Chains A and B, each alone.
Chain A
Amino acid sequence: MASEFELSRNITIGQYVPTGSYIHRLDPRIKLLVFTILVLAIALNTSYLGNALGLLLSIYLFWASKIPISYGLSGIKPAIPFIIILAVLQLIFQGNVFSGGTLFFEYGFILITSESIRLVIVSAVRFVEIILLSSVLTLSTSTTELTHAIQSLLSPLKKIKFPVHELSLIITIAIRFVPTFAIEMEKMMKAQASRGADFGSGEWWRIIQRTKDMLPIIIPLFNIALSRAEDLILAMESRCYTPGNDRSAYSVYKALGRDYLVLFIGLLLSFLLFFYPFPY
């Protein structure tokens, strides 16, 4: 029987699943670059075929990284309500904007055309693809590797005095702490439920009441977040961390032939998704 409080089970962001696959062993800089470009390409593709290709690709990547696809899909579960709400809104309001194609249905300002249906389906699939792709990336890359990759990809910005190191540190810490806070939140929900709190049993339209019901979790969670941040600062400072200093790295990454091959294929696929006029 699944527990009503198991939040962390569905959080895939910020977890690292070491399986030692070749996806794991790729140079993190190239991995990040390829994934970023792929996500952009998918985000801009509006055809059925292109997105089918993207979906296949994301599934393949899960398979290749030896991470169970069911685990990746569990990361989508919490987003399902948003996907549905978004789809409904698009279906109702976007008919006028995407009024091309065949007209299926018309009522007042609501137009449903083959184009607006395409928009709805494509955006839902696209959402899934992007979540899957970013999950593969974070599940197969350790935090250290990710920091390093972000830092080195942004390093050209150093020339214009952009705080590259600080930004990559912030991003990494944010990602790293997602599962930690999921666990904290789970604990807090359990603790407050033990005191008689109940979450989500009120009627959904009583939004104010339901928000109030969440206060016993939200306030302690803020406190915990702040004290965690303080701990982290202490830990970093006691290891002589100084922002803005030049730092050498413990591991030095060197791209191999394999990495360049992956880069080439990734770029090729992205170009395809960008520029190829898919017939459907």
Chain B
Amino acid sequence: MPEKPIIEIENLFHTYMKRTPMEHKALMGTSMVVNEGECIAIIGHTGSGKSTLIQHFNGLIRPDSGKVIIDGVDLSKKRIDIKALRRKVGLVFQNPEDQIFEKLIGDDIAYGPFKLGLPLKEVRERVKWAMDMVGLNFEEMKDRQTFALSGGQKRKVALAGILALKPKILVLDEPTAGLDPRSRNELLDKIKFLNKMENLTVIFVSHNMEEVAYLADRVYVMANGTDVLSGTPEDIFTDKDKLQRYQIGTPETVQVLYRLNDLGYNVNTSAFAVSEAANEIIKVLNDGEGENHG
């Protein structure tokens, strides 16, 4: 598939609370390119401007200066079809369970499609599709009360509410923060499925490096309002100096492999996917046994 940029950000600046004593420069010259169908992770320490950046993707924040082009639409232009943009770019906020407001799950997910002015039948189909996508049983769950759900279920409902808009680009702000391990893994698998099978372009913010290693094709690292580093997870997690300089954590697998390496075992430190890392460790164990016997 030829690589076609769907999001292009160039030298983007944003200042919060402009012209007040609380003025705060959140973005200072960020650039980034996302190609169609990619899965991109944005990482960086707290307050580095990740959430501010992604709010530019669907025009919630307009560029102060710099270029933001989303699927051919230049957001620095004043007159753009903002509703069409928000339909194309589905943005799931941090703690999206807060935004649920209807009494019944089905109604809440249907809010977006109804706002699009779709006919009832189509709305129903979309709600069903979206609920299937996030692993909620349509018949069983659509008439359940929203307030009596667990945190993880609420988050699924919120995600379904965005998916029902059938976006081309899915943007998620810390989608798994505060979820229990099981809901977390389920959600990650759904995101992977959407990216690989339904061909959604996915951009997600995360503090969890296991997650980044599992999902992302490429990673952008942000610090102090700019992008300081980008590359594949291998590039990022094997660059020890930079990891330290920008206080980026690494997946536990990488840590284990580095320690084995330091102890003089010959392991491949870029094999950080859990199964690959396990193979490396088994290799070390087998070698060790071999020595004992020999």
Contact = CB atoms under 8 A, between A and B. Distances in A.
A194 B115 CA distance: 11
A187 B93 contact: yes
B22 A216 contact: no
Interface in A15-39: 15, 17, 19
B112 A195 contact: yes
Contacts of B101: 215-216, 219-220
Contacts of A96: none
Interface in B74-107: 76, 78, 83, 86-87, 90-93, 96, 98-101
A160 B168 CA distance: 67
Nearest to A223: B98
B228 interface: no
B44 interface: no
Interface stretch (B13-21, B29-37, B181-189, B244-252): B13-21
Interface residues of A, number: 32
A252 to B, nearest CB: 29
Interface stretch (A2-10, A52-60, A151-159, A270-278): A2-10
B116 interface: yes
Interface string A211-241: 0000110011001100000000000000000
B27 interface: no
B20 A68 contact: yes
A194 B91 contact: yes
A196 B112 CA distance: 5
A6 B115 CA distance: 23
A220 B161 contact: no
Contacts, number: 82
A190 interface: yes
Contact of A3 (B61, B92, B98): B61
B60 interface: yes
Given A196-B115, A220-B98, A1 B64 contact: yes
A1 B63 contact: yes
B112 A191 contact: no
Nearest to B111: A195
Main secondary structure of the interface of B (DSSP, over half): loop
A195 B161 contact: yes
A8 B22 CA distance: 11
B165 interface: yes
A188 B21 contact: no
A3 B16 CA distance: 9
A15 B22 contact: yes
B215 to A, nearest CB: 21
Interface string B226-263: 00000000000000000000000000000000000000
A70 interface: yes
Given A17-B22, A70-B19, A196 B64 contact: no
Contacts of B17: 6, 8-9
B62 interface: yes
A194 B162 contact: yes
Interface residues of B, number: 35
A6 B15 CA distance: 11
Contact of A190 (B22, B60, B162): B60
A99 interface: no
Interface string B156-195: 0000011001000000000000000000000000000000
A188 B86 contact: no
A71 B60 contact: no
Contacts of B112: 195-196
B18 A195 contact: no
A19 B18 CA distance: 18
Contacts of B83: 196, 198
B21 A71 contact: yes
A74 interface: yes
B58 interface: yes
Contacts of B153: none
Nearest to A19: B21
A193 interface: yes
Given A195-B161, A196-B165, A197-B115, A68 B21 contact: yes
Interface string A35-77: 0000000000000000000000000000000011011001000
B55 interface: yes
Given A196-B87, A215-B101, A191 B19 contact: no
Interface of B: 16-22, 55, 58, 60-64, 76, 78, 83, 86-87, 90-93, 96, 98-101, 111-112, 115-116, 161-162, 165
Given A2-B18, A3-B60, 8 more contacts: A67-B21, A71-B21, A191-B98, A191-B99, A194-B58, A194-B86, A195-B162, A220-B100
30 contacts: A1-B62, A1-B63, A1-B64, A1-B78, A2-B18, A3-B60, A3-B62, A6-B16, A8-B17, A9-B17, A9-B18, A9-B20, A17-B22, A19-B21, A68-B21, A187-B93, A190-B60, A190-B93, A191-B96, A191-B99, A194-B162, A195-B99, A195-B111, A195-B112, A196-B87, A197-B111, A215-B101, A220-B100, A223-B98, A224-B98
3 closest pairs, A vs B, by CB? A196-B115, A219-B101, A194-B91
